[in-house]
Amino acid sequence: MAPMKGLTVFIADVRKCKSQWQPSLNGYNRKKYVCKLIYMSLLGYDVHFGHKEAVELVNSPKYSEKQIGYLAVSLLLTESSGFMRSVVTALRRDLYDTNECNACLALSAVTNVATREIAETLTEDIVLQLLSSSASMFVKKKAALCLLRLLRRFPEAVKARQWAARVVPYIGHRDIGVTLAVTSLVTALVQQHPDETRKAAALAVRRLNSLLADNEHTVDYVYYRVPAPWLQVKLLRLLQYFPAPESAELRGMLTSTLRRIIDQSQDAASDLQQMNAQYAVLFEAISLGIHLDADQALLQQSAALLGRFITSRETNVRYLGLETMAHLAAYIDDVSAIKRYQGVIIQSLRDRDTSVRRRALDLLYSMCDVDSARAIVGELLRHMAVADVALREEMALKVAILTEKFATEYAWYVDVMMRLVSLAGDHMGDEVWHRIVQVVLGNEELQLYACKIALQTLRAPVCHESAFKVSAYVLGEFGHLIANAPDCAPIDQLKALQAKMGPTSPAARAVALTAIAKFTNLFPEIKTLCLRVLDRFRAALDVELQQRACEYYALATVESEDLLPIVFEEMPPFPERQSALMSRLLSKGADTEDQRTWVLGTRDPNRERSGAQQQQQLPQSPPPGGEAGVPRAADPAAGAGKASSEAKGEAAGAAGAVMPEEQAQAARGRKHYARLLWENDGILHDGDEIQVGVVAQYKPPAGRVGVFLGNKAAVAICDVTIEARSGEGSLEIRLAENQAPPTSLVPLAQARIFFDVTCKDVFATAPTLHITYSLAGEPTELELQLPVTAAHFMDPVTIAVGDFFARWKQLGDAGIGEAQEVFRTPFLATDGGAGPWLRSVVGGMGFALIHGADPVPDNIVAVGIASTATGGRFGCLMRVEPKQSHGLTRVTVRATNSGLAAAVAANLSMIFASR
């Protein structure tokens, strides 16, 4: 291909290509080639033939070429592209690149492409970049925002429950940029996984306090004399997803922080930028104070501030003030402080800005109570005629709800509702007139007055269709209540209905036909006239009207005195249920994932919602067997005896009750514990915050056990205590001399502590390790079982090949101590290393393998002697018989002490179960 000098030459060269596979280009020409393809793609042309070149650029070692490659991949490739797998491989390689520019390019590409395959494949790698101690701050920020993007697109694919708790401590990171990005991520996580992120509240409170009270920030993050306003806003918003802190220290710290923010907002801003920053933090702080139901003095001070804001000349400030005041009015019981600004709020209904008018309507709806209902409803009705068309439906719904909720007189309710449907009938759904009918049917005291108003409405020069439907329905049900009143005779009611039926829609005429059909039962004196009306509509073009008229006419002409009263019986009251108007209003704000959403106008639903969120935030009970998932002493792998079938059933039932994540954590804990039964060093517990390791040395009957404690969190852990306890007198465990347990651990630090153990006699229960610590003010208690059993105090003993079965038979005949178990070992048939692994396990448990003693080559026989300080020494023989064809292994242990045999068998049971 000739050197490309411009777009014209490039297009000519493309047209000359006989196929899409041309000789390879150098990096510079490929970069130019792909740039032009991007331009062609933006113009709408298909450039699939150039996708391969874009992927080649991604794999280039040069930054400029890699940058164009990732740009092209983001714009050109689709999720179903065949090149996507190659792109995923390149992304993973660049994520671990020591050059932070390449890592950042990969993170940006992941964020832009964000396919399901990328989310499922690379999420854990991105999490590792965020948690890595070697990654730069810039990479950590990008990693957090990349995770946020993937979480929003594919929440189920990223499996956030597995890593959410590990990223939460980074809210306390020393770099404000990292904290800002992680706070955005945690805010999204807390809405989906509240249990895993419950510790974020304490971290956010402390971070806010350090930012404002301790001034722990750099000059770079001070924006017009406001320290890190974006971080303050995000932290305040994050705290709105949590209940008030239970700790008195945290609660006092948070209250003082909110007061500090409100007090600082009193200072006059020197310019617009500072005012915007102060107000952004202030409004979020007030929202948090409302959510936490802070002390009344703080809320009253907030109301006074908001009253000043709603009179501001700045449109944005007025908008925020009205919105936040509506939030306040929806939570507090006493709205007297807000009522002082009722005139200003009503005036805001006529603001030039539509959004301000909408917020003013929300505030009037929220602050309305029995005392102010008439004034507010009257003002809204007066404003209905000049209100925006887009605002009338919502205004009508709110007027209807307020009228029903705060009506103290039936006459006022009927007057307002009939006026409402007359004014705004074109801008609201059928829910309003349906609700009027429901209320009238459910209140006998209302029915007489409702009939009078219905007849007056029909006689008015102009009658809206919704008002006509209400009037027709009410007269059809209760017209007999006013039949004896002047000008309200049955014939007058029928004439009023007929006069307004002509210009109405088929739906309205259908309601009127039903009312006229009921007149045939209520008023026999006008039955003939009613039949004439029904007969005329039997030829109507509308199918619904025709069917109704035919059926009603047939029923009315049946010669039966009992049929009409039964069919046209008065409608019973509707059952009590939530108002359809309220459901309609709530549905308008339900299409949001933000769980901070609060309900306008009502206090009880908001508090019920807050209570439900608090229940979600409560920590779940730990799984059986301790936090690390290590079984308790009743488990056969932890104790020296066999568990009964009843105990196993209970354990199985408890395991079925825990969450899948807790089951996985428990399984990992059992695997760590089982490995330490035949190896002397390894991990005992690997949690999200701390890691516990164990190293042991035994010289029977004594030993030394070292415990290593590592801080995996991004903040320091404090108030650390470590204590080892023995449940039996046969085992003595104590802190080694000159050992002082650490009281705190900085991030990524490790501490070690040693314990001396002495086996006085064979024991059945392993000792426990109790660890307590505090992370971000939240205390945590961890109880682990130490892998120290009677079988650990074993020395290998070698005997002659011919002597093994003689002693085996001798112990069997004595019947002192024998334990036998049959284990399912399906891995024998599939794993070629299963045989060596079995020998390693037996040797690791302190036995000497006697090769050639068993006539079956695959069988394993071994000998050991356990030493105790006061009980003496006990011989122990073991025979392991694997059956590869059956997938089973039988283990038999014979010893001069029954407890020792049971302990060895129990350890093997745990080891096989974890394989």
Q: Give the annotated binding-site residues.
A: 28, 32-36
Distance of alpha carbon 676 from alpha carbon 786, whole angstroms: 9
Residue 769 contacts residue 722 (beta carbons within 8 Å): yes
Distance of alpha carbon 706 from alpha carbon 695, whole angstroms: 5
Q: Could you tell me which residues are beta bridge partners of residue 873?
A: 867
Distance of alpha carbon 470 from alpha carbon 515, whole angstroms: 11
User: Residue 820 is inside which H or E element, if any?
Assistant: strand 817-824
Distance of alpha carbon 179 from alpha carbon 204, whole angstroms: 10
Q: Residue 132's closest CA among 186, 88, 178, 185?
A: 178
Distance of alpha carbon 233 from alpha carbon 912, whole angstroms: 53
Distance of alpha carbon 448 from alpha carbon 452, whole angstroms: 7
Neighbours of 98 (CB within 10 A): 7
For residue 640, count CB atoms less than 10 angstroms from its CB and return exposed for 0-12, middle for 13-18, buried for 19 or more: buried
Phi and psi at 324, nearest 5°, equal -70, -35
Residue reference for tokens 């014939």? 491
Q: Residue 399's closest CA among 410, 408, 649, 382?
A: 382
For the chain, the residue count is: 915
Residue 638 contacts residue 767 (beta carbons within 8 Å): no
Neighbours of 251 (CB within 10 A): 15
Distance of alpha carbon 254 from alpha carbon 227, whole angstroms: 17
Residue type, 217: H
Distance of alpha carbon 755 from alpha carbon 732, whole angstroms: 10
Phi and psi at 707, nearest 5°, equal -115, 125
Residue 406 contacts residue 364 (beta carbons within 8 Å): no
Residue 401 contacts residue 584 (beta carbons within 8 Å): no
Q: Could you tell me which residues are beta bridge partners of residue 895?
A: 817, 876
Residue 715 contacts residue 182 (beta carbons within 8 Å): no
* Helix 506-522 and helix 527-537, axial crossing angle in degrees, nearest 10: 150
First to last CA, the chain: 60
Distance of alpha carbon 883 from alpha carbon 132, whole angstroms: 46
